Every structure is written in C-alpha cells, then in structure tokens.
Amino acid sequence: MFVGTASDVGKSVITAGFCRIFKQDGYYPAPFKAQNMSLNSYATAQGLEIGRAQAVQAEAAGVDCHTDMNPVLLKPTNDKTSQLVLHGKPAGNRSAMEYFSSTHNDALFEEVKQAYDRLAAQHFPVVMEGAGSISEINLWSRDIVNMRMAKHANAAVYLIADIDRGGIFGSIYGSLELLPKDHRELVKGIIINKFRGDSQLFDDGRRQLEQLTGIPVTGVLPYFRDIHIEEEDSVALAHKQRRLASHGVNVAVVLLRHMSNFTDFNALEKYPSVNLFYTDDPVEILAADIIILPGSKNTIADLIGIRNNGTAAAILQAREQGKVVIGICGGYQMMGNRISDPFGIEGSIVTVPGLGILPISTVLEEDKVTLQRSFQFRGDTTLCSGYEIHMGRTVSPQPSPVNILSDGTPDGYWLSEQCWGTYLHGILDNDTVIKQLLHACGKGKNMTFDYHQFRQQQYDKLAALMREHLDVEAVYKSLRI
C-alpha cells in the first residue's frame, strides 16, 4: 500500500508504476483504492463507474478495470455535498456530516473490505493506494481508505513524501510518530518523491531519516517532466495553466468550477503544434482557434457561472467569428437551448436557458448512464472508443448525429465541422476525431498521434525510472515473494 504525508504527493502515479512493474515481472496485479474523491471517473465494461485513477492503474497492470478496485467514489457537487457512488452505482448525495456518521461509515467500511477480499482472491499482488495524509488523527475512527484498510489487508505500507513542497523531515517524522504502534509496524519503507537535481546530495538526509524513524528509505524518485501519466484529479490543472502561443493551434478548454474528466484532453495536448490550455478569460477564449466546453458535475451552476464571468459571451462571439466550438457531455448540454432539472438532481433551479448554439434541449434524469462505447465518427469506417457518464437525456427536433454507436444509436449533434457536441468522454483519444477537429480550424494538416501506444510507452518508462531509483527487491521481500 502506498500512502502519503499529504494529498498530491504522487501516490496515484507510483501505484501505477508498481502495477506495471509487477505485470512486467510475471505477476497478476490489480490496483485498489477503497475511497476516491474525484470528478474524474470512468465507465467499466459492466457499465459501472469508478475513479479514473484506478482505471489508469488497471491499464498499467494490464487488466480490465472493475468496481472492486474502487468501491467508493465521491463526486463533489458543491462545497459541502458529494454524490456517493457505491460499487459503481449512484447511492444518493451525502453531506460531509452524513457521510462521516458512525453508522454510515461502519457500513461503508464493511463494503470496501469485502471488495478488497474479492479482488485479493483473484489478483496478486493487490497494489493499494491511500488518500490524502495518514496523520489526520481526527479522521482515524472513520478511516476506510488508509491505515485501517492496510491493517485489514495486512499490507506492506510505503509512505510517500513530496520533497519539492518542502518540510519533508517534519512531515515524515510527524506522520509516523502519530501512528498507533500496530499501524506503524506495517510501514516498511519511505519513498522520497519529486527530487530535483543530484539525489546523492540527499544521502545524509536519507541516513538521518532512517535514524529518526527506524524505517529504511526505499528510494528517492527524481522530479520528471518527460513521463506522462494521467493525473487523479483537478489538482493537476494547476500545472496545465499554459497560455496563448504565437504559433500552432491554440485550444482553449473552458475552465469550469465543477469540471469533470479533464483527462478528455490529454491526447489532444500531445499533438505536435497544439497548445492546449484551460481558461475562463474571455480575451483568451476569443483569441483561441478551438474552444471546448468540457464536462461538468453541476452543469446548471457552471452554465450560470460562465454567464456571470463573461465567458459565455466570449464563446458566442467566437462562434460568430467562425471559430471551432465543441462541447463534451455537460458542455454539450450547455450548448443547447434549455436544460431542465425537474427532479432537483443538481439543485433547486428547475430550468435554465442554454447558450442556444445547438438546437437541442436536455432534461436531467435520476438514472445515470455509465457505458463504454464503440462508435463511428461522422460516417468514417474507423471504429473508435469512448464512454458515457451522465444524468441527462438530450433531444432535438431534427437529429443530426456526430457519432453512430455500435448498437446503431445516434449520439450528439452535428451543426457543422466547426460546431458540434457529444456525450462521449474519451472521444478525443481517437486520432480520426482529432484530425477532423484540427482540419476544421484550418491549421492541423498532417498531424497524427497514437495515444494508446503512447500510454503504454509511458507506463514502461515510469517502471524503468522506478526500478532505477527505488529498491524494488526490498519491496518484493516485504511482500514475502
């Protein structure tokens, strides 16, 4: 199990790396995170929903993702409430007070233990990931994801700290000193992550940490920029705040407060000459070649938000100027004439006018669609793939589909090659679609990229880097392999 001194120290990426290492060494690993809080999610082959990070880790392990890998997913709807997704299915909204009540939390802990046990009966090793910090002592009695889960699994635990943010000695020593004796005994090593420069300069630091804690430092991982693994949640967006470039194709993804599945754009930003950035600045939106409205966990609130900050007006003006404007999932819904919420799925607002770009209207419904999809894009014979995660039904008086799904169902609305919308997340992982999009703005000639092959190469590069800088043999010994 990989746990952290804080959030965003690299747990998800290191877990993915070890999934790849164990696969390369002939084992049959699987990832596991008992509870994930993220708006980045993915649909399993069974039509259920899990955190995107566990889907990425499963891909690194070479196995199909399953809800047992992430039995509890929390998707924030506002500052105080989250949708609870249990075993891949929505189980209502919970406030933090409701979620952490003893009765509710004990029941969830039983559910996640059973999910782990099922997974462990089929895979070895199970590569577990913790959440946030292990030293939040006020949460220990209600912990279902960190050390209580490690205790249930009798896991070999590795504590990860991010040296780039500073305070590493205090955070490591304090985290370990706060642990109860039976939990601390599970910790087999410390991993220093994101070290800049020559790691030999930290040799004294390693020895001092080992003397202070009595726990070996398993390795020091360098800070890297040339390995690209999908990040877990929107914390990563802080590192993507590029701005307009003077050349190439400028792609502006509209920055929404409740943005979901920003990984939809990872493939596009890897294409040569593409400068993709996230923004809610009307000036930058107007200057972009392509504007993308992304998914949202609270579409109505985000639609009101972009109206209030001037972003919506800039999108409409860009559309009038002939710029390429597309929408994905919630962004597709926003592009229509109206969004209705008769069941109060997102709040108390029953109806809100859309941007009026596409002749569609949407009704938010209580049933959630979570499906992996194969499709053909605009009549192209190439079979593409994506997935749906939404709680809405969109209709138009005159259907004009963007995609035809493998079961013959139409998806999305095609107004022109410069303007369309779709429910399919992952649509921009397909080279066929990106080629059309870049061609539509008149700047994307002869660009091509195999994103699937690229991802596999990144897992291998990550595994090689970790083998070089971590004592992998010590990890194997801790697993008694």
Active-site position among 19, 65, 329, 441: 329
Cα 426 to chain centroid distance, Å, stands at 12
Burial letters 29-57, b for 16+ CB under 10 A, else e:
bbbbbbbbbbbbbbbbeeebbbbbbbbbb
Spatial distance between the Cα atoms of 50 and 384, rounded to a whole number of angstroms? 21
User: Which has the closest alpha carbon to 296: 33, 7, 55, 41?
Assistant: 41
In a 13 Å sphere around the CA of 396, the CA atoms on its Cβ side amount to: 23
User: Which has the closest alpha carbon to 325: 244, 251, 431, 435?
Assistant: 251
Spatial distance between the Cα atoms of 347 and 436, rounded to a whole number of angstroms? 37
Residue 218: its H or E element: strand 217-222
Q: Is 441 a catalytic residue?
A: no
* CB burial of residue 146 (10 Å; 0-12, 13-18, 19+): buried
Q: Is 390 a catalytic residue?
A: no
Spatial distance between the Cα atoms of 362 and 437, rounded to a whole number of angstroms? 25
* CB burial of residue 471 (10 Å; 0-12, 13-18, 19+): middle
In DSSP terms, which residues pair with 35 in a beta bridge?
72
Tokens of 346: 């997102």
Parallel, antiparallel, or unpaired: how do β-strands 249-254 and 274-279 relate?
parallel
Looking up tokens 């992996």 gives: 372
Is residue 191 a contact partner of residue 159, using CB atoms and an 8 Å limit?
yes
Region at 250 (left for phi over 0; alpha for psi -120 to 50; beta for the rest)? beta
Number of residues that this document lists for the chain: 481
Which residues have C-beta within 8 Å of that of residue 25, sequence separation ≥ 6? none
Burial letters 290-317, b for 16+ CB under 10 A, else e:
bbbbbbbbbbbbbbebbeeeebbebbee
Parallel, antiparallel, or unpaired: how do β-strands 295-296 and 259-260 relate?
antiparallel
Tokens of 11: 């747990």
Which residues have C-beta within 8 Å of that of residue 352, sequence separation ≥ 6? 300, 303, 304, 338, 339
Tokens of 384: 């593409």
Active site residues: 329, 425
